[in-house]
Amino acid sequence: QQQVKQSPQSLIVQKGGISIINCAYENTAFDYFPWYQQFPGKGPALLIAIRPDVSEKKEGRFTISFNKSAKQFSLHIMDSQPGDSATYFCAAPNTTSGTYKYIFGTGTRLKVLA
Amino acid sequence: DAGITQSPRHKVTETGTPVTLRCHQTENHRYMYWYRQDPGHGLRLIHYSYGVKDTDKGEVSDGYSVSRSKTEDFLLTLESATSSQTSVYFCAISEPWTGNGYTFGSGTRLTVV
């Protein structure tokens, strides 16, 4: 079974600090690598996604860095805010056999202290 | 969440009873998925569908079955619920290779007592 390894499991950051979450994947697939944000009692929501032929993508305070050769990608949250406190999931595409699905990391619970 | 609804939102059932969860979409997306979310395990794929009557197993499919008779509806059935199936279940929809990933429903919290 393909796996996606996500770390750390939990993260506490001071307001204004940088939050960094890392993921490693196994199989290569030419498709987007997304990050999802989930608040308690809600479903995960797409936060930002990157194509594997791009090394970095930035949207506001959120940046994905992608290292194709190392099969790793990371989420950086700049100027972290208490409202960013949530669980974050990375996902890697699993498009074997021509089907379309994602394998998710186990999640990182982020708490930003005011 | 816009375009995708799950029902019921909460359910408590007894061990050994059948349970059906419903996912309904209005986006006309081809792919639909059922995931379960448990602490320490993240989101694990139960079953998915890539078209009407086209379904396949995910990594944790034992004890679950699905059906998709219409594009908009994807049903997840626990034939005989067990306590290990106590979880939060999420439905997701997707149109492949658009860069838009999945859209998730709000989830169903199922408790098997």
Given a cut of 70, whether residue A26 has pLDDT beyond it is yes
Contact state of A43 with B45 under an 8 Å Cβ cutoff: no
- Which of B43, B48, B55, B57 is the best residue to mutate to test the A interface, defined by the most A CB atoms within 10 Å of its own CB? B43
pLDDT of residue A35: 96
**For residue A105, pLDDT beyond 60:** yes
> Residue B104 is encoded by which pair of tokens?
């998730």
Return the DSSP state at B41.
Answer: T
| Rounded percentage of chain A residues whose pLDDT exceeds 90 | 76
Buried b (16+ CB within 10 A) or exposed e, B80-112: ebeeebbbbbbbbbbebeeeebbbbbebbebeb
Contact call for B104 and A1, based on CB within 8 A: no
Query: Which phi and psi (to 5°) does residue A56 adopt?
Result: -155, 145
Q: Are strands B108-112 and B10-13 parallel, antiparallel or unpaired?
A: parallel
Instruction: State yes or no: pLDDT of B50 exceeds 80.
Output: yes
Give the model's pLDDT for residue B97.
Answer: 72
Nearest residue in A to B96, CA atom:
A100
What is the C-alpha R_g of chain B? 13
For residues B31-57, give the mean pLDDT.
94
User: For B71-100, what is each residue's pLDDT tens digit?
Assistant: 999 999 999 999 999 999 999 999 877 777
Average pLDDT of the residues in A10-25: 97
B-chain residues near A101 (CB < 8 A): 31, 33, 45, 48, 58
Rounded to an integer, the average pLDDT of B59-74 is 96
List chain A residues with CB under 8 Å of B102: 34, 36, 44, 46, 102
Size of interface A-B (CB pairs under 8 A): 63
Q: What is the pLDDT of residues A29-59, one digit of tens each?
A: 767 899 999 999 999 999 999 988 899 999 9
Which residues, 6+ apart, have CB-to-CB distance to A13 below 8 Å? A19, A80, A110, A111, A112, A113
- The closest alpha carbon to B50, from A101, A28, A44, belongs to A101
**Mean per-residue pLDDT over chain B, rounded:** 94
